[in-house]
A and B are shown apart, each in its own frame.
Chain A
Amino acid sequence: MSKQVKQLDRVIIRFAGDSGDGMQLTGDRFTQESAVFGNDLVTLPNFPAEIRAPQGTIPGVSSFQVHFADHDILTAGDAPDVLVAMNPAALKANLGDLPKGASIIVDTHDFTKRNLDKAGYNTNPLETLGEVNDPLAGFAVHAVDLTGMTVEAVKEFGLSRKDAARAKNMFALGLLSWMYGRPTDGTEAFLAKRFAKVPDIRDANLMAFKTGWNYGETTETFAVQYEIKPATMAPGTYRNITGNLALAYGLIAGGVQSGLPILLGSYPITPASDILHELSKHKSFGVTTLQAEDEIAGIGMAIGASFGGALGITTTSGPGIALKGEAIGLAVMTELPLLVVNVQRGGPSTGLPTKTEQSDLLQAMYGRNGEAPVPIVAPQSPGDCFSAAVEAIRIAVTYRTPVMLLSDGYLANGSEPWQIPDVADLPVIDPAFATERNKTVPGKPAKDGTETPDTTEFWPYLRDEETLARPWAIPGTPGLEHRIGGLEKGEGHGNISYDPANHDLMVRTRQAKIDRIADSLPPLVVDDPSGEAKVLVIGWGSTYGPIGAGCRRVRKAGYRVAQVHLRHLNPFPHDLGDILQRYDKVLVPEMNLGQLSLLLRGKYLVDAIGYNHVRGLPLKAAELAEAIGHLVAEAEGIAVDLTPAATTTVDTITEEV
């Protein structure tokens, strides 16, 4: 039979099922297929902190959202156009996020009394379709026995019923791959490799995948196939990459570009552990990974390695930073290069381990005793984690300082196509180890009046005039033996000093050194197409996508707004103050209660207006656009209406996000 093919410019699909149903894998494969096909895309994995929460329950639901388009997109999308629900709980947990008109593909197999009870359904919603009080009214529901068809399809491999049913995610993937015209070679190769050691399982998964595809092609349940053309992207080689992988690669690149061996001291913590896992694979780059007994030991090991002339790195999330605070202060005082990676998650305390948040900015800024300034770098997208890591290493090595790299759970697990950089374009980082004594001490006249010759000494706190960085003299260097530590240093010679004036000088000097980093930063890029916007939206970190998408919506509706995004949170770039002064209103969207707002207000006396959500999820572009619209209306004294002309069903979406 011939099927109708409809053109779409973008689609948001959410795969949802039980934690054990393989939804992350399914979503990841669909993403890879879409990436290779050439769509632009952004993903949003969402899973519970429990490894296997009680089966069939709402807390056990795991989902993976992928937004793919024929044009440049910035977010994983506010609301799915298509929900694939593998059980009642997955349906119930995600239904609230769907706009009317969305499609639901639901596996009917698990809609048993027991599973409906677990999900809190009194009646089977699939049996009340079209009736009064139909909870699925307004949606295009495709109820299909995915599990049953999977079990039937893989019968020949003689698997247990349980193992056979586990291939249902591949059946679903096959079906969706047909529906959206995805290439299948990659997934077939992936399955062949992943299950190479268990041929029955491998063949069953391949069969389920193919059968799912064929089912779409032959069944009348699905009458339409959709086409989303490849996006126009800048020339180059691309790959799909998650933030944690890009960050790990960036760390390795920093090691290569500085010629320093890396030593990572790390204690496992969600959502940062994948960086530890990844770096552990790359020993051939001289990367040592030490799984520490606790968070403090992790940074201690990194500091010890840095003292020895390696690049010490520690990776963690917010609770780990709380434990590392004193050691970060030691690195501030001893002025050793050190990279501290915080993949932020919902807090406080244990908070929301698998959900995203940006609430550790002030902790990064001020979370230590004493005046202990630490430079802060924040990536803005998953792929950007690579260059942000290289930049953080540049600062750490050049300025002999601990640097905080602030990623977050959304960047860590989310993915996007990444234009792979040319290694030749990466900065070269010079460790510039000290090799010679740096201080000439004049000889003193002896009692008999004869002069004694000048001598040379090594002064570990004699600074570079430009950067204020101190020399990095590593053990094994003869003649430069010296002692450092957490007690206050005398200026220059670095011996213990309790002198009041010296302490005042050293506190100010350490701050001045961090402030000097701003001299090495490029000017900010202000995105203000009309050049006449009165409202500036400023953000940092992973909110780049939603802020950009929100600004696009506002501009598309005919209004003016400017956007600037901060990669360096400490020190701020030199031109930030001037930029802020140019606009009547400054909006600061953040996934916290206003931490960047507080810093901007404190430093620039600007009336920063917060836009704050802490829901453990990325900001929604449509809601943010409304907030921007209100501010534009206020600033320009005009009425603002962002309502798009078209309705938002799957078939008719044209609006750019």
Chain B
Amino acid sequence: MTATPHISDLPMPDLRTGVELVPTRDEGVTETGKDYTSDQEVRWCPGCGDYAVLKAVQGFLPDLGLRRENIVFISGIGCSSRFPYYLDTYGMHSIHGRAPSIATGLATAREDLSVWVVTGDGDALSIGGNHLIHALRRNVNMTILLFNNRIYGLTKGQYSPTSEAGKVTKSTPMGSVDHPFNPVSLALGAEATFVARTIDSDRKHLTAVLSAAAAHRGTSLVEIYQNCPIFNDGAFDAIKGADTKHDAIIPLVHGEPIRFGLEGSKGLVRDTETGGVKIVPVGTEPGQVGEDALLVHDAHQPDPSTAFAISRLTEMGYLDQTPIGIFRQVARPTYDDQSRAQIGSAQDAAPGEPTDRLAGLINGGDTWTVV
């Protein structure tokens, strides 16, 4: 088999989809990416991976079939966080690291919106790390696009929390001694219900992952490897090069054996020694493992241990090996749905005009009347 994944038809294990409560476009109205393009001039550096992601998102949003005014993009600070300005939807370019909290308030207040967060490796994992993990554990219905270029771009080239150890940057002239985060491992550890990884330049895969993320009810985290041609050019060359990508990308397709390499020469099996997973040669020769013995990817597995083990195959130095695809997609009640349900049942139990009920409230307790 080839390394091209087919992931867009992943069946949803949830009862509701991510956009189920969002009003849909009137019948007969067609929209294209142009309708989602604002009148603002895009100001990323030439060659920036953000352009490809923007194009893919603009092209993909009409496919959701939603009313455009019910889509909201919230971002933090950083190059990628300029994203909302270029989309003709509602949007907020907020403050550094805080977009998940703002989106949490918005998504909880409004069930009829499709809420998206655009963030970067510095925004989400450094200054906003706390909000990211808490958004994931709460499972508020929103989709987080984490653009990971493994560098600080807008502040001109300092190392980021995903930069490899030893990286020489303006702030680490002798090499970074900071240990990097693996965003997928972090998200799985934070009990995220949807975790995926994709690549800026693979529009087909990116679009398929975005579709699945939008359809997921709960917080979806999509890590997008994104090249910064100015401060970290070539960081993803191994997974993009025609000669190298077969060995560098481990494609994850739900229900399929995990196999990669030229002509599927490698695959994953459980490692009984470590309890994790390991890469083995695939084939019928001695020392090789047959395809039927390979680990079959199960994104719906409630236990995240195997997904976590797979995430650890990500090379945290120069990126010449990484799993790509949907690591985990499981159903768990969302915070916002449950919060609204509590409000709804409390309101059902307290009929009457709000002003009358307010009068009842403030006149409660021990009162006395002076005549």
Contacts and interface: CB of A to CB of B under 8 A. Distances in A.
A563 interface: no
A306 B102 CA distance: 10
B366 interface: yes
A385 to B, nearest CB: 12
B110 A476 contact: yes
Contacts of A304: 74, 92, 101-107, 109
Contact of B368 (A36, A421, A424): A36
Nearest to A286: B343
B366 A301 contact: no
A284 interface: yes
B270 interface: no
Contact of B366 (A239, A293, A326, A422): A239
B17 interface: no
A293 B354 CA distance: 31
Contacts of B105: 263, 265, 290, 300-306, 308, 312
B355 A480 contact: no
A233 interface: yes
Nearest to A334: B92
Interface stretch (B62-70, B162-170, B236-244): B62-70
Contacts of A447: none
Nearest to B354: A256
Nearest to B74: A304
Contacts of B361: 249, 252, 282, 285
Q: Chain A's interface: helix, strand, loop or mixed, by majority?
A: mixed
Contact of B362 (A36, A249, A305, A306): A249
Contact of A478 (B67, B131, B343, B355): B67
A38 B110 CA distance: 46
B369 A283 contact: no
Interface stretch (B259-267, B309-317, B345-353): B345-353
Contacts of B84: 483, 485
A308 B136 CA distance: 21
A421 B339 CA distance: 31
B69 A420 contact: no
B185 interface: no
Interface string A142-155: 00000000000000
A158 B113 CA distance: 60
**Which size class do A's interface residues fall under?**
35 or more
Nearest to A300: B101
A303 B102 contact: yes
A349 interface: no
Interface string A465-484: 00000000001111111111
Interface in A282-317: 282-288, 290, 292-294, 296-298, 300-310, 312
A443 interface: no
**Which size class do B's interface residues fall under?**
35 or more
A283 B178 CA distance: 46
Interface string A11-36: 00000000000000000000010011
A308 B94 contact: no
Interface in A475-518: 475-487, 495-496
Contacts of B45: none
Contacts of A186: 366
Contact of B106 (A36, A233, A305, A495): A305
B101 A423 contact: no
Given A38-B368, A293-B131, A307-B102, A475 B343 contact: no
Interface in B40-63: 40
Contacts of A310: 109-110
A300 B102 contact: yes
B109 A261 contact: yes
B25 to A, nearest CB: 11
A420 B355 contact: no
B93 A486 contact: yes
Contacts of B112: 476
Contacts of B91: 482-485
The residue among B67, B96, B365 with the most chain A CB atoms within 10 A of its own CB is B365
Contacts of A282: 361
A293 B367 contact: no
B147 interface: no
A240 interface: yes
Interface in B148-167: none
Contacts of A423: 355-356, 358-359, 362
Contacts of A486: 77, 93-95
Given A297-B134, A304-B103, A481-B89, A288 B343 contact: yes
B174 interface: no
Contacts of B131: 293, 296-297, 300
Contacts of B358: 252-253, 256, 285, 423
A486 B72 CA distance: 16
B171 interface: no
B69 A477 contact: yes
A2 interface: no
Nearest to B69: A478
A237 interface: yes
B92 A484 contact: yes
A481 B86 CA distance: 12
Contact of A284 (B68, B87, B339, B346): B346
A236 interface: yes
A302 B102 CA distance: 7
A297 B104 contact: yes
Contact of B367 (A265, A290, A297, A420): A420
Given A290-B108, A482-B90, A237 B369 contact: yes
Contacts of A309: 109-110
Contacts of A481: 68-69, 88-90
Contacts of B347: 283-284, 286
A300 B368 contact: no
Contacts of B15: none
Contacts of B272: none
B69 A35 contact: no
A621 B104 CA distance: 47
B216 interface: no
Contacts of A35: 366, 368
B98 interface: yes
A330 interface: yes
Given A252-B358, A302-B105, A233 B370 contact: yes
A139 interface: no
Contacts of B92: 304, 307, 334, 483-485
B85 interface: yes
B38 interface: yes
A302 B98 CA distance: 12
A536 interface: no
Contacts of A483: 38, 40, 84-85, 87, 90-93
A420 B38 CA distance: 52
Interface string B123-153: 0000000110010000000000000000000
Contacts of A482: 90-91
B351 to A, nearest CB: 9
A236 B370 contact: yes
Contacts of A297: 98, 101, 104, 130-131, 134
A386 B363 CA distance: 13
A300 B104 contact: yes
A88 B358 CA distance: 46
A284 B89 CA distance: 32
A238 B368 contact: yes
14 contacts: A35-B368, A237-B369, A249-B362, A261-B109, A290-B104, A300-B101, A304-B106, A307-B106, A308-B113, A476-B69, A476-B113, A482-B90, A485-B94, A486-B94
The 8 closest A-B pairs by CB, nearest first: A485-B93, A300-B101, A304-B105, A301-B105, A284-B350, A283-B346, A304-B106, A304-B102
Given A36-B368, A283-B347, 19 more contacts: A237-B369, A283-B343, A285-B358, A286-B343, A288-B109, A288-B339, A297-B101, A297-B130, A297-B131, A300-B94, A300-B101, A300-B104, A303-B102, A475-B71, A475-B90, A477-B69, A481-B88, A483-B85, A486-B77
